[in-house]
Structure 1
Amino acid sequence: MKKIVYIIVCLTIIFGCENNEETQKAVAVEDDNFSQLTSLIDHFAEENLSKGNANSFAVAVYRDGKMYQNYYGTINGNQTNKPNDSSLYEIASITKTFTGSLVAKAVLAGKLNLDDDIRNYLEGDYPNLEFEGQPITIQHLLTHSLGFKTKTPPKLEAFNKRMNSGENIDSIKPYTIQDLLEELKTVELNKKPGTHYAYTSVGPELLAYILEKVNTKPFKEQLKIFLDDIGMHNTYLNESEKHLNNLVRGYDGEELAPVDYCPIYGAAGGAISTLPDLSIYMKYLIDNKELPWVKEASRQLFEDTEEDETVGYLWQNIGFAKEEGYYYSKTGTSNGIQSVVLICPDSNYGMIVFVNNTSDEAFNVWVNLTYRDIEPLLIKYPKLNLTSIFRKDFSDNPSIAFQNFRELKNDTINYSFSIRELNNFGYDLLNEKQNEKAIKVFQFLTKEFPDNANLYDSLGEAFFISEEYDNALQNFKKALQINPDMKSSKDYIKKIEEKKSK
């Protein structure tokens, strides 16, 4: 009996050691993959910055318990003025998600009901706050579906315009909750509440007023308690003037933008936060996705198919994707800062991206960095996105990019790629007027995937744009050999024939 036990113990030790070694190897591989992922993020951030449309980026990504944060560029062109962990950003409408979370907690506590008529919480008579027998409810405040004929009352709209023009705050009479309540008596509804989406700051500010009623505490105090509970100690409401030394100043193109200011409570967009603090928020929502208030605050409440908007407790762009699973997000746009928080709880990842410029050009670069460059890296992790690696290698040395792709494309354990994303890379080069490079990419892809008609069509288009019509015609015909229904190839052939006939 003792001998058997001894053998079992020995086998347990041997196999236990082997299992431990395998676990360590797996962890080492995953850590190496995460390092490569963050290296790619750094590359794409610097590449987008080099286009000259933004001064700086701040990025945080979180995946499967691993966090990465970094800063790129400088705040105002001064080479020593790089953002850091103490830098405070105007997070604008991301503030709304804090307000929505407080409402979700009040709903779960039985203090509010989504179907409550908001007039139950307003002092005075508001017969105008209904349309076709449907009153405005708490849910309508949360989902920007109030039914107002003009989405912002005129005096509030005028106040916002003065503030956004950069006027000195001390020279402007404040717009208070009493001013809003008075204006509410005159607003006109021309749509049934809960049927049409119209983005407005009115809903969040009224929710803050109602939260003060039901929780018998000032809204700012309620918000501080909420943030402290999560561990966010460097996020402030309507305190930009107190933190100017650390506040990241934004730009609108070349012009320095005025400091943002949100009237009334600031519940619609008055918060400033550091990247580490907002990362704590992102991590908390992912790690605690089963908490009742988190589940409630992140669920979808309303969809407007005409506007293509899905809204919950002031979160937006809510949905379900095949690979990512459930997701929700919120963007924020102040006078000079563009920001986004994306939460994908089913896949255990999230990201935050700040850019301190709100020009159209900077906005496009910010969108590309966020959704074209960073998110594809996170979706497949711990697999590495081979398309992203190919793009990075190509910018350094096309020959090396082609070689590496050929060597790695069949390693489906460690790498993944999408032909669609590879094809899009070629079009990105075309859009940047780098026609020769785009042709190289498409030529390579047609050799790697010779049965893909769309790639030949793309190569044909690249030749057409470069006015190499014979080469274009050859590739369009090849696309039609593979797929006789390729309409774009047929259309381009007609264009080429018309040009040749002239």
Structure 2
Amino acid sequence: MKRTQHYRMKNQLWRRAFVAILVVIVLCVCSLYVIQYKPMTLNSEPKAVKHTTKPASEGIIKNLNQNVLLKNNNLADSFNTQLKDSGFIGTALIVQHNHVILQQGFGYADKKENRLNDAQSLYQIASIQKGFTATLIMKQIHAGKLQLNTLLSQYYPNIPDADKVTIKEMLTMTSGLTEKMDANVFTTEAENVAFDAEHTTVLNSSNWSYQAINYRLLSGILMKITHKSYSDLFNETFNKKYHLNVLDYKDFVVDPHRTIGYKNADYSQLASEKPLSYAFETGTGNMAMSAGNLYTFYRLLTDHVILNEELLNMMWQHPVTSNYAGGMYHYDESSIGHGFKLGFEPTVILTKNGQDAVILMSNENARDKSWKPLAKHLFAQMTAIKIIK
């Protein structure tokens, strides 16, 4: 009896030992699998997770370059009437709650040729281009080539106070820099910016001041970092990758959808066309596009497609002394982009998520007149958001 019990105990011990050994073997095999197929060290970064949630803009930006006047929509009808009564010339795009309710052309794209403005008409975007330049800068920050506190002296050491000016201060135009003169001959974008750098000086005040030199120098920094022309970098990013169909001046003037800039509402005075003036605006105002594609650009930003949320917040974070940052003016509930250029005036007003927007792209810019108040008025009617400035 005792011998039987002894054998039973011995068999149980062997079973337990076998099970323990088996568990150890399984754990070792699993560990080897993880090490071989899913390497991860303290210094490595996890692979990006593919989000299955589609961007909110995906549906709205597919067919934006089409004329739209939403039927049975009182607001669309009202806006259409107000735009006509105001004498607006250009293309208006109105987005309410993530739906285009109106996209219409008003007046002539080319009066001489009797060609009317429509959803496909192309307009100079003037200073709104600074938002594109800021986006290119943020992409270099994401790539680890720049930081917001990188000093201007790293790229342009001969500019006065360059050792005190940061990338962030140029993005917000709080650098205290200005330009003494423009060149009278254009060769290349890089040489143009080099001339600007040689003629940059310091303002008497360190307060916020809207000075295009900030973004021309940012364009120069982009060219130094990437070893590409600004135009090539711009085209690779916004046209080849995001299909925004932005045209520089030489392509704009021969495009069948281009608009002619006028100085008055009766089309009797054409705005002067100065190729040299556009050439000097490297990174600051020499590109053209449609209203729909401009809205697409902003939706790709607000939906964090071009830049992630952290980078976008960094780009649009303005100083306490002004509301300007990254090519726009930012308020609690909205952001505004605006510009003037030789008969053209673009205005963009949108909510923080981009799902409500008023875009007026005009090819008529009369002296002492602006379409910006009309855009603000329409936006306030649609959203009940008042913009003081």
Which whole-Å CA distance do the structure 1 matches of 2:259 and 2:70 have between them? 33
Give the alignment's Cα RMSD to 1 decimal: 3.1
Map of 1:225 onto structure 2: 236
1:302 pairs, out of 295, 319, 323, with: 319
1:120 pairs, out of 154, 160, 168, with: 154
Note if 1:314 corresponds to 2:327. yes
Map of 1:281 onto structure 2: 297
Structure 2 CA distance for partners of 1:299 and 1:179, relative to 1, 3 Å: closer
2:282 pairs, out of 250, 253, 266, with: 266
Map of 1:104 onto structure 2: 138
Structure 2 CA distance for partners of 1:263 and 1:252, relative to 1, 3 Å: same
Which whole-Å CA distance do the structure 1 matches of 2:214 and 2:292 have between them? 28
Note if 1:342 corresponds to 2:341. no
Note if 1:375 corresponds to 2:374. no
Structure 2 CA distance for partners of 1:235 and 1:205, relative to 1, 3 Å: same
Note if 1:36 corresponds to 2:74. yes
Deviation at 1:361, TM superposition (A): 5.7
Q: Tell me which stretches of 4 or more aligned residues in structure 1 moved more than 6 Å.
A: 31-34
Which whole-Å CA distance do the structure 2 matches of 1:293 and 1:238 have between them? 33
Structure 2 CA distance for partners of 1:78 and 1:127, relative to 1, 3 Å: closer
Structure 2 CA distance for partners of 1:232 and 1:69, relative to 1, 3 Å: farther
What secondary structure sits across from 2:331 in the alignment? strand
Letter of the 2:299 counterpart: K
Deviation at 1:379, TM superposition (A): 0.3
> How big is each residue's C-alpha offset from its partner over 1:33-69, in whole Å with a ceiling of 9 and x where there is no partner?
97222111101111101xxxx5x23111222221231
Note if 1:46 corresponds to 2:59. no
Contact 2:299 2:354 in 1 (8 A): no
Which whole-Å CA distance do the structure 2 matches of 1:297 and 1:342 have between them? 20
Structure 2 CA distance for partners of 1:141 and 1:285, relative to 1, 3 Å: same
Contact 1:89 1:247 in 2 (8 A): yes
> How big is each residue's C-alpha offset from its partner over 1:338-378, in whole Å with a ceiling of 9 and x where there is no partner?
11112212573122102222114642xx2342112x11232
Letter of the 2:201 counterpart: E
Say which one has the larger Rg. Answer: 2
2:202 pairs, out of 170, 173, 189, with: 189
> How big is each residue's C-alpha offset from its partner over 1:389-437, in whole Å with a ceiling of 9 and x where there is no partner?
xxxxxxxxxxxxxxxxxxxxxxxxxxxxx9xxxxxxxxxxxxxxxxxxx
Contact 1:297 1:313 in 2 (8 A): no
Which whole-Å CA distance do the structure 1 matches of 2:175 and 2:229 have between them? 25
Map of 2:191 onto structure 1: 178
Letter of the 1:37 counterpart: L
Structure 2 CA distance for partners of 1:358 and 1:142, relative to 1, 3 Å: same
Contact 2:165 2:175 in 1 (8 A): yes
Which whole-Å CA distance do the structure 2 matches of 1:265 and 1:154 have between them? 13
Which whole-Å CA distance do the structure 1 matches of 2:127 and 2:106 have between them? 23
Note if 1:152 corresponds to 2:179. yes
What secondary structure sits across from 2:339 in the alignment? strand
Map of 2:309 onto structure 1: 292
Pairs within 5 Å for 1:198-277? 198-228=209-239, 231-240=242-251, 242-253=253-264, 254-259=268-273, 261-264=277-280, 266-277=282-293
Which fold has the larger relative contact order, with Cα–Cα distance below 8 Å and residues 6 or more apart in sequence? 2
TM-score (norm 2): 0.70
Which whole-Å CA distance do the structure 2 matches of 1:141 and 1:210 have between them? 11
2:106 pairs, out of 66, 69, 72, with: 72
More helix by share: 1
Which whole-Å CA distance do the structure 2 matches of 1:113 and 1:251 have between them? 42
Contact 2:103 2:119 in 1 (8 A): no
Deviates more, 1:260-269 or 1:197-206: 260-269
Deviation at 1:313, TM superposition (A): 1.6
Note if 1:63 corresponds to 2:104. no
Map of 1:353 onto structure 2: 360
Structure 2 CA distance for partners of 1:347 and 1:145, relative to 1, 3 Å: closer
Contact 1:332 1:340 in 2 (8 A): yes
Which whole-Å CA distance do the structure 2 matches of 1:85 and 1:77 have between them? 17
Note if 1:139 corresponds to 2:172. no
Deviation at 1:226, TM superposition (A): 2.4
Map of 2:52 onto structure 1: none
Pairs within 5 Å for 1:428-447? none
Runs of at least 5 residues in structure 1 that lack an aligned partner in the other structure: 1-30, 160-171, 382-417, 419-502
What secondary structure sits across from 1:69 in the alignment? strand
Letter of the 1:279 counterpart: Y
Structure 2 CA distance for partners of 1:181 and 1:349, relative to 1, 3 Å: same
Which whole-Å CA distance do the structure 1 matches of 2:317 and 2:357 have between them? 18
Which whole-Å CA distance do the structure 2 matches of 1:251 and 1:32 have between them? 29
Letter of the 1:119 counterpart: S
Deviates more, 1:235-244 or 1:88-97: 235-244
Which whole-Å CA distance do the structure 2 matches of 1:226 and 1:268 have between them? 17
Map of 2:117 onto structure 1: 83
Which whole-Å CA distance do the structure 1 matches of 2:233 and 2:271 have between them? 30
Which whole-Å CA distance do the structure 2 matches of 1:343 and 1:279 have between them? 9
Runs of at least 5 residues in structure 2 that lack an aligned partner in the other structure: 1-68
What secondary structure sits across from 1:184 in the alignment? helix
Which whole-Å CA distance do the structure 2 matches of 1:230 and 1:40 have between them? 37
Which whole-Å CA distance do the structure 2 matches of 1:283 and 1:274 have between them? 14
Structure 2 CA distance for partners of 1:296 and 1:83, relative to 1, 3 Å: same
Deviation at 1:77, TM superposition (A): 4.4
Deviation at 1:318, TM superposition (A): 0.9
Letter of the 1:97 counterpart: G
Contact 1:282 1:341 in 2 (8 A): no
